[in-house]
Structure 1
């Protein structure tokens, strides 16, 4: 019985993903803000960031359409990768069978920057994930990848940096998970170091929210 329910739940989620893909015409360069499935790591991210409408985004990726197929360019723990959009949606936390994903689109005056942004991200495919959120190394976390590659014609980032915090929004304390995380990598918690996160990026005035999948 339990196995049957699992199969049904998986099938329903797959249907929700298929409907989500067909629900809105994505464009190359669109940003997908996502609440990932639950894990200790994503919960820690959710507890220190806030996006539009108080959504706790844990990930952001860029849409890339090639030969009629939709992909996302993203930095995930395996590194900087190009993933089928179906794979991206499967990582989402669901709400009533629909993925918690929001689409942000650069405002018209910045859309000319998209082709070069795509080229920059593709040139970084295979780079390692930045587990320590260091702005000066050659590894990339999700929003860092977007910031590094989405540049104005003058070469400056479209999306600004802001001091990072690893303090829980409610308690004001650094959670034990973050303490253990940075201890594992033998480095200090980069509290106050300039950086980015999906929540802040989703609230940027440089984009317009054009669709919600849920």
Structure 2
């Protein structure tokens, strides 16, 4: 049995994985969706990026998990990638779901147009305000799915987006499945394309939008199950 630790992206909590988690449990896996500090039911907990890294490490150690597949969606690829190297031989594999990846010394906002995000964080009192329903158009989501995401989203801690990542070894040394959701762009970002040259990284494409845990949960769970078999 594989133990999955599932971490959703900006604005979301453990609840975002409900359907995927049910599929994985039905396949016999241990599943541990995790809400990062400052979000959802933990929204009152002060948080930055390194706090998020520690959230993941603490969860693995608290539950004494072994043969772990860490799954990071969107923003959470950054703390998941850092946590992966810190849990040592407990790690079996990492799955990045249409995510950013950590680059040593760089933040989530590095290398991208970020003035509007920084302005939003400042206006939001240090938090990045959630997207509106209109922002989810064209992402293979039903009206009900969009409403569920919007209703469940909470402001995202701005410090987690501006703090730099800290890596002690190259990500290319990890065993990784990278899932690219095609409605969010045909190709992975440059940093991911470089890492995909590693023999220990594989690329899987999904014909859906940036939130496959809502739009195609069964298909996503199937990819995660197969990644565990490869681990």
> Under a length normalisation based on structure 2, what TM-score does the superposition of the two structures give?
0.28
More helix per residue: 1 or 2? 2
> Under a length normalisation based on structure 1, what TM-score does the superposition of the two structures give?
0.30
More strand per residue: 1 or 2? 1
Task: Tell me which structure has the larger Cα radius of gyration.
Answer: 1
